[in-house]
Amino acid sequence: MIVEDDGTGIPDAEKEGLFIQNAEGYGHGLLLVHEILALTGITIRETGTFGTGARFEILVPSEGYRIV
């Protein structure tokens, strides 16, 4: 699943810290998102280009969903 916007995006130097807790707090607030998704084997990463918007790719393993 891809979620993106057309804002300014995230500088490359800040992408690694999006999903971790640091000395100043919880980064950009995405630590909780990362941890909740990880409980079910889902991963999230930011792959946008700075200047053209943020782009988050949410990767769901084949055993992580079902169609009913």
Structure confidence by residue, pLDDT tens digits, 27-63: 567 888 999 999 999 999 999 999 999 999 999 998 8
Phi and psi torsions of 48, nearest 5° = -75, 170
Say what the pTM is: 0.81
Four-CA torsion 8, 11, 12, 13, nearest 10 degrees: -170
- Domain range holding 27? 2-64
Segment 61-67 mean pLDDT: 87
Structure tokens at 1: 């699943």
Burial 13-23 (b: 16+ CB within 10 A, else e): eebeebbeeee
Give the residue with greater pLDDT, 17 vs 6: 6
Confidence (pLDDT) at 25: 64
CA distance 4 to 47: 9
Number of domains in the chain: 1
| CATH assignment of the domain containing 28 | 3.30.565.10
Asked if 55 and 15 touch (Cβ cutoff 8 Å), the reply is no
Segment 7-25 mean pLDDT: 85
Confidence (pLDDT) at 1: 94
